Structure 1
Amino acid sequence: MSQVESTLIGVASGRTTLRELRRILRPRAGLAAGAVLMMVVAAAAGIAVPVVIGRVVDEVLAPGAGGGSLTGPVLLLVALAALAGAAGLAAELLIARVGEPAVAELREEVLEHALHLEYGVVEDSGTGDLLARVSQDVRALADVVRAVLSRFGGAAITLALSLVGLAVVDYRFALAALLAVPIQVWATRGYLRLAGPTYRSLSRAEGAEVQQILESVQASGTVRALGLGERHRDAVLRRALVTRGLRLDAVRMRTVFFQRLNLAEYVGTGAILAVGGWLVARDAVTAGAATAAALMFIRLFNPINIVLALLEDVQAAAAGLGRLVGVLESPRREVPPGEVAVADRSVAFASVGFGYHADHPVLHDLSLEVAPGERLAVVGASGAGKSTLGALATGLRLPTTGSVRLGGIATSELAPEALRHTAALVTQDVHLFRGTLREDLLLAAPDASEDDLAAALDLVGASGWVAGLPDGTDTAIGAGGHPLTALQAQEVALARLVLADPPVVVLDEATAEAGSAGARQLEEAIERATAGRTTIIVAHRLSQAARCDRIAVMEHGRLVELGTPEELMAAGGVYARLWAAWARGSGEPG
């Protein structure tokens, strides 16, 4: 199993899924009962039609029967058809009033829970899997509510009442009809044995396929730069082929299923006709009663096929429901009750160890203190653990061993809301939300005034280009909006940071995408935006690190050097070698 598949968010058990379903439907129990009642009325009206037709046959065959005697039955047939149609429509409306709000409520609960999951859970599982759950799985569930549930429930009730009706006409008709049941049971058991695992596997494969596509699209720049297009295309193709294979398995499974159902129909119809002829010949029943029984059984074909055919949709919806409830089961960060406030702006790592997987530690016994208001740079080769250190400092990740403290309080003891107001992370991958620039900025501080927005933009050096936008801060940005350069996007992120006003800031290679000239401009903006804040800068540009109070040098997940830029240069150690190598490549003085 691939890493993508092995880290997906779990799927809830059948018992847990049913418990959640009952919880969501409980407030709508009255409407659900009304829907069942309307389905019973519609089914009963439909079953009464063959009985009336049987009476018509007896009337026609009766000696001296006149045309006038058919008027009443014909009017009754019209009334029954109208009643069945009206009751069926009412059942559909009631089911919609039960199901649509329930699906919407579940979707909102899943989304709200997902937004508060541990950062590592979402990152390790991949956004593609989560996206598939809140889109494809919700859509499958909604489709069942809209187009399947009323037909499935109505057909199931019709099936049960029809068997009762056959027994009322003559119990031997019911016995004859039961000859088809073993074949139907055989067909259904074979189908259900395969359907559940097949659709669960298909749901997982679709999630993994979406995740692979998202990863390839999001990293398109890197893919093109490194010539990895063919490799990523092959990876997407492999995922697509797995999904296609499972879909073909489902088609083959369904085809065999219907072939067996057709066999059951032939056996049952032959048995009903044979029994009816035998009973009429012995004067045990009238021809009308035999006709009613035959019509009643033939009418069973449709509800039986509906129930069994719609099992595929119900199975798919059940699998999707289990995946949605699986999100709700995923653990959220447990925070002790009561509000905990940080005492100051310090950051402290005490014997911290961390690994994304149990057998692959990334940080080893890291101890480090950052004083309030200090600016600390973290440097090192790729894979040294710098970004992980930043994620731990903001509480996005929790240490495997040891503790990380913000203002003297362990990050594990701070509620997400308290963490959000205490520490903020700005990365090189800035997301601009779809909407106006003003709306994007107000996400960080919903109550900010126009003066606050203008001051934040001016502080980070963005006021000039913002004034040149077509509609100023009312200009649409993000997907489909006015394009911004990498430098401008980073300045928007810094303006959001200023508006959010956290005491602790982590900048994870925030100047990496700005280019050399832009990076220098951005470094100055960063200094202004972070003035007075405790700042940890994960730096790939050592010129930025050289402007910090102290520098922490990481190697293979360990802190190997710590000191001021002057101290580390004088020591002639790892940092001095990194500086010399970087200076040769950048043209900076050594």
Structure 2
Amino acid sequence: MSALLPVADNSQVRRYVRELFRRYPRVLWGAVTLHVLAAIAGLAGPRLLGELVEGIQHGRGAGLVDRLAALIAGFVVLQAVLTRFAYLSSAQLGERVLAGLREEFVERVLALPLSTVERAGSGDLLTRTTRDVDAMSRCVRLAVPETMIAVITILLVVGALAVVTPLLALPLLTAVPILWAGTRWYLRRSPAAYLKQNAEYSMVTDGLAETVEGARTVDALRRRRRRIERTDADLRRTWLAEKYTLFLRTVWFPAVEVGYVLPVVSTLLVGGLLYLHDSVTLGQLTAAVVYVQLLIDPLDRLLGWLDELQVGTASLARLLGVAADEPPVAAAAARPDGTRIEVRDVHFAYVPGREVLHGIDLTLEPGERLAIVGPSGAGKSTLGRLLAGVHEPTGGTITVGGTPLRDLPLDQLRAEVALVSQEHHVFIGSVSDNVAMVRPDAGAERVRSALAAVDALDWALALPDGLATTVGAGGHPLSAAQAQQIALARLVLAGPHTLVLDEATSLLDPRAARDLERSLAAVLHGRTVVAIAHRLFSAHDADRVAVVEDGRITELGSHDELVAANGPYASLWRSWHGERTPEDTDEPLADTVGVTPLTP
């Protein structure tokens, strides 16, 4: 089961919310001012209604009644107009806040180390980018402004009631114990409950994504029943988590409903007694009852949206938590002195206590081409990922120009060392955009040169709209080999001084792969290239070959030196060379020599 990404704590969430709203002070205070004015306009109605009742009671005439009725209607219209513009202002504020949040979230996701994403799995990240972002969107667009309006209205109504007659404000206190106790009980339990609910959704998404991505393997190994059972178990845990949050709401909501009714009943009873004893007038009593009645709607909205705020807060904590594992930013002075890469006594384990690599020592000279070969599961791809900075060693050091890879910010690290594996992605957009995304300022000629370097220019120009042809989801379909060439063209255009190619040409037939590697060698002349290969012609063409067995480098030298040494590499070479050559077969050589890329 994947380890979920971290979750931000309450102090981080509160600090971020304050900072987020401080960015838009004019819009925020404009919205607050409009809501206050709308609430004040709404308060005039009950006071005028009380005067109207007194006027009728004392027979003051139709003129007064008409005038007060016209004033009430005028204030209702004014409140409607102010409310409309207040909601528009709140919506603008919400959209700005939400846009900033989304942009920062994308930046956090793209800044995550690949090792963190792999450790967490795709399900948790997908849930955060979909369900949690949607929950935050609803919270920012609706819950925040509605809560703000409710709080402003409640304060102003209570103030107006106290102005009319302080005695009739006292019955409001009957609701305080119920609302306080019920809300406190709910708030002590709901944050953790909603975090757990969202985490369970992540596990459901993770399991479904795993099943879809490995559908062929599931079918071939007849594991359908096990995958269904896994999904059922995940759904049951999600159902239990939702059942608990529903239980919290079914206890809290009825309690607050009672809290709404008590003040109205208490005001009528107390106000009636005070009126009978001539302590208040009928107009004051009427205004007070209407004011208390007016409190029900904002109070109901406040407590109702408080539940939505709990969902939004949990989602925000998960969105902010994406960055909690980010490595510390390196000091500005930490700059590599040269491009030499040195690996010293490196150990690595995916699981504590079970090392994959044991005491690796290796030096990569600038401009050298190194091939890494070895049997499946020996640790070749793991070593390549360490060299590219995808994983950090659990022991030992890897430096570039004397600076540890772990001390380099991600952007600088990718400018120094880049990894291309057999996993690749074609984004929605033109062929040209897909290549130029690593250097948006690159001109058309540089894009064409990069495609030519990977033998992809001819077929790219032959597409319906040439390099402007839209590819990716819903666009012109590309073969796996063509998509791999697009990924290699990006690498050529990016131009890092060290490249780690982990089966980067595995989807091409052997003859095309060898031609492509020779073309790349010419284009990448002067750059350090580490090729993790299962086709031994890649090793034959390299400056040096490292043989990895059981997590150790057992041989290191040139092709000729290792063949002459008559060790493991010579055995692999004779086995391959004696049966076939790369010029007369279209089958992967791994089938013969048993050298395949490691999938950790």
TM-score, normalised with respect to structure 2: 0.88
Q: Which residue is equivalent to 1:191? A: 186
How far the C-alpha of 1:530 sits from its partner, in A, is 4.4
How far the C-alpha of 1:77 sits from its partner, in A, is 0.8
The 8 Å contact of residues 2 and 120 in structure 2, kept in 1 or not, is answered as no
2:427 is matched by which residue type in structure 1?
Answer: F
Q: Which residue is equivalent to 2:390? A: 396
CA distance in structure 1 between the partners assigned to 2:247 and 2:553 by the alignment = 58
Aligned equivalent of 1:59, options 55, 60, 63: 55
Describe the superposition over 1:502-528 as per-residue Cα deviations: whole angstroms up to 9, x where unpaired. 332111122333455665555555545
Q: Which residue is equivalent to 1:3? A: 2
The 8 Å contact of residues 112 and 323 in structure 2, kept in 1 or not, is answered as no
Q: SS at 1:4's partner residue?
A: coil
Q: Which residue is equivalent to 1:318? A: 313
How far the C-alpha of 1:435 sits from its partner, in A, is 0.6
The 8 Å contact of residues 346 and 394 in structure 2, kept in 1 or not, is answered as yes
The 8 Å contact of residues 47 and 158 in structure 1, kept in 2 or not, is answered as no
Q: Which moved more, 1:489-498 or 1:525-534?
A: 525-534
Q: Which residue is equivalent to 1:485? A: 479
Unpaired segments of 5 or more residues in structure 2?
580-587, 595-600
Aligned equivalent of 2:101, options 91, 101, 106: 106
CA distance in structure 2 between the partners assigned to 1:229 and 1:540 by the alignment = 32
Unpaired segments of 5 or more residues in structure 1?
none
1:201 is matched by which residue type in structure 2?
Answer: K
2:258 is matched by which residue type in structure 1?
Answer: L
CA distance in structure 1 between the partners assigned to 2:34 and 2:439 by the alignment = 51
How far the C-alpha of 1:248 sits from its partner, in A, is 3.3
Distance verdict in 2 for CA 1:53–1:124, change over 3 Å: same
How far the C-alpha of 1:309 sits from its partner, in A, is 0.7
The 8 Å contact of residues 403 and 410 in structure 1, kept in 2 or not, is answered as yes
CA distance in structure 1 between the partners assigned to 2:464 and 2:355 by the alignment = 50
1:96 is matched by which residue type in structure 2?
Answer: A
Describe the superposition over 1:94-137 as per-residue Cα deviations: whole angstroms up to 9, x where unpaired. 32333322221232223223322333233323344334334433
Aligned equivalent of 1:86, options 60, 81, 90: 81
CA distance in structure 1 between the partners assigned to 2:324 and 2:248 by the alignment = 31
Q: Which residue is equivalent to 2:242? A: 247
The 8 Å contact of residues 336 and 402 in structure 2, kept in 1 or not, is answered as no
Q: Which residue is equivalent to 1:272? A: 267
Describe the superposition over 1:254-311 as per-residue Cα deviations: whole angstroms up to 9, x where unpaired. 2332222222234333322221221222222222322222222222221111111111
The 8 Å contact of residues 195 and 315 in structure 1, kept in 2 or not, is answered as yes
Q: Which moved more, 1:48-57 or 1:241-250?
A: 241-250
The 8 Å contact of residues 342 and 407 in structure 1, kept in 2 or not, is answered as yes
Distance verdict in 2 for CA 1:245–1:514, change over 3 Å: farther
Q: Which residue is equivalent to 1:309? A: 304
Q: SS at 1:372's partner residue?
A: coil
1:480 is matched by which residue type in structure 2?
Answer: G
Distance verdict in 2 for CA 1:34–1:588, change over 3 Å: closer
Superposed, 1:152-301 pairs within 5 Å as 152-301=147-296
The 8 Å contact of residues 487 and 522 in structure 1, kept in 2 or not, is answered as no
Q: Which residue is equivalent to 1:476? A: 470
Q: SS at 1:367's partner residue?
A: strand
Instruction: Count residues with an aligned counterpart.
Output: 584
Aligned equivalent of 1:145, options 137, 140, 147: 140
The 8 Å contact of residues 103 and 138 in structure 1, kept in 2 or not, is answered as no
CA distance in structure 2 between the partners assigned to 1:95 and 1:332 by the alignment = 37
The reply on whether 1:14 has 2:10 as its aligned counterpart is yes
Distance verdict in 2 for CA 1:54–1:359, change over 3 Å: farther
The 8 Å contact of residues 497 and 529 in structure 1, kept in 2 or not, is answered as no
Q: SS at 1:348's partner residue?
A: strand
Q: CA RMSD in A?
A: 2.9
Distance verdict in 2 for CA 1:191–1:410, change over 3 Å: closer
Q: Which residue is equivalent to 1:537? A: 531
2:249 is matched by which residue type in structure 1?
Answer: R
1:18 is matched by which residue type in structure 2?
Answer: R
1:325 is matched by which residue type in structure 2?
Answer: L
Q: Which moved more, 1:546-555 or 1:314-323?
A: 546-555
The 8 Å contact of residues 375 and 534 in structure 1, kept in 2 or not, is answered as yes
Superposed, 1:342-381 pairs within 5 Å as 342-344=337-339, 346-381=340-375
Q: Which residue is equivalent to 2:585? A: none
CA distance in structure 2 between the partners assigned to 1:27 and 1:462 by the alignment = 47
The 8 Å contact of residues 123 and 205 in structure 2, kept in 1 or not, is answered as yes
CA distance in structure 2 between the partners assigned to 1:252 and 1:435 by the alignment = 47
Q: Which residue is equivalent to 1:38? A: 34
How far the C-alpha of 1:208 sits from its partner, in A, is 3.3
Distance verdict in 2 for CA 1:342–1:430, change over 3 Å: farther
Q: Which moved more, 1:543-552 or 1:532-541?
A: 543-552
CA distance in structure 2 between the partners assigned to 1:256 and 1:83 by the alignment = 39
